[in-house]
Chain A
Amino acid sequence: MSGSFEGTDVVSIRDFSREQIEHVLKLAEKMMPIAKGEEKSVLLERHVLGSLFYEPSTRTRLSFDAAMTRLGGRVLGFDQPTGASVVKGETLADTIRMVDSYSDVIVLRHPQEGAARLAAHFASRPVINAGDGAGQHPTQTMLDLFTIRKEKKKIDGNQVVIVGDLKYGRTVHSLSEALALFGAELTFVAPPSLQIPKEHLKQIESMGHKPRISSSLEDVIGDADVLYVTRIQKERFPDPAEYAKVAGTYRIDLNMLKDVKKDMIIMHPLPRVGEIAPEVDETEHARYFEQAFNGVPVRMALLGLVMGGLK
């Protein structure tokens, strides 16, 4: 598959085969010393990244900035639409055509689903989707896979328990499909009103898997090799008392962790709002900060691949 990434858009994880994703993960591993600043790189020197963030984002934007800068490239763009031509009524298509002429690669975060596909349609340079509304966030999925592989040495055969808002959670749908593609066993834990949508379940079942569904984290946490925690958003609940009850049920604290496997790891796409107690940060299970850092080498690998610096 060498060379086939140059000029490729990264819009949806579904556009990539298992072999292609594995290739990205392997290259990301090689990027580690550069991502940590231990080695210098000029791989993308004289290259410009157009960074268009129509929605606030801390980790995704900063890790793309860090990835590009560590590879010797420059970043231009905006991190909120105010002041951008969007408030003057410019279409996304026009903004993309303009930035396309200023840069070598475009990274886009946008509130509307399908925005990245539209951008890819209008741009001649590769477009990397950094999240489009409730749609796709493929680089998050890749860094999640990278983290599991790095920490557990492999992805297949691991029992991955995913807990939280599985209905609306952006990262959960593409992650669970990718995990199924890689042969991990899945358990979905959520209150019935926020369980994984049927069409996603069907998609995973069509790949030959039979995920477990549960509303009780206590019942399944003992089997977990990986516990993937996502945020439950307050605004999904009409009744604040109901929210408090549900959020409390899935809160990860030391008590919840007393019977888990010794080498179980806890992941979270962050930001967290009380889903994981701060006391858990000090345990051997916590990996969410490493996970956030892993965004840098994974995005370095992708930037290098789509701009042809890496094969």
Chain B
Amino acid sequence: MKEFKVTPIRNGTVIDHISSGMALKVLRIVGVKDNVSSTVSVLMHVPSKKMGWKDIVKIEDRELDPKELDKIALISPNATINIIRDYNVAEKFVVEVPNVIKGIMRCANPGCITNQNEPVETEFVVESKKPITLRCLYCDRVTAEVAENIQ
């Protein structure tokens, strides 16, 4: 008999193939705090045929918006999103790193104008997707430190 460490969910989202160790950052991105009304399950360091080790996050009764998906793609470019409706996988896709990142990260350069109190969204050009490197459209600083700078 197949053993489930975490039971299947009825409705919601399963974020699978999260890079090992990134699950807590994913929780921060999707905004899981004290006030959630549904169950959130986190599996860390799960054996994976594809990746060796992976993390999984299951969020009941919730589907993610495009900005959240972009953020997850930045910290875990191989993550797969399974949207579950009535116990069935209604949609399944791999997150995609966009070519331009708008407003979801701050610039790693403390001297960058976007870190001042200016009414402007940050904007980064994705110079490379694997590994991810981003160039600030304003100050030209190139950074690979994505997880630390996600807002």
Contacts and interface: CB of A to CB of B under 8 A. Distances in A.
A133 B119 contact: no
Contact of A114 (B113, B117, B119): B113
Interface string B120-150: 1000000000000000111111100000000
B91 interface: no
B116 interface: yes
B109 interface: yes
B111 A133 contact: yes
B142 A93 contact: no
A113 B118 contact: no
Nearest to B114: A114
A110 B140 CA distance: 16
Contacts of A199: 142
Contacts of A136: 140
Nearest to B116: A112
A287 interface: no
Contact of B118 (A12, A92, A134): A92
A91 B136 CA distance: 20
B111 A112 contact: yes
Contacts of B114: 114, 118
A285 interface: no
Nearest to B107: A114
A12 to B, nearest CB: 7
Interface residues of B, number: 18
Contacts of A47: none
B100 interface: no
B112 A93 contact: no
B119 A113 contact: no
B120 A112 contact: no
Contact of A93 (B120, B139, B140, B141): B120
Contacts of A14: 140
Nearest to B117: A91
Interface in A191-205: 199
A118 B113 contact: yes
B142 A113 contact: no
A262 interface: no
A134 B112 CA distance: 10
A234 interface: no
Nearest to B137: A117
Nearest to A111: B111
A92 B140 contact: no
B111 A91 contact: no
Given A112-B116, A114-B107, A135-B139, 11 more contacts: A91-B119, A93-B119, A112-B112, A113-B109, A113-B111, A113-B138, A114-B137, A114-B140, A115-B113, A118-B114, A135-B140
Interface of A: 12, 14, 91-93, 110-115, 117-118, 121, 132-136, 199
Interface of B: 107, 109, 111-114, 116-120, 136-142
27 contacts: A14-B140, A91-B116, A91-B117, A92-B113, A93-B119, A110-B113, A112-B112, A112-B116, A113-B111, A113-B113, A113-B138, A113-B139, A114-B112, A114-B113, A114-B136, A114-B137, A114-B140, A117-B139, A118-B114, A118-B118, A118-B120, A132-B113, A133-B111, A135-B139, A135-B140, A136-B140, A199-B142
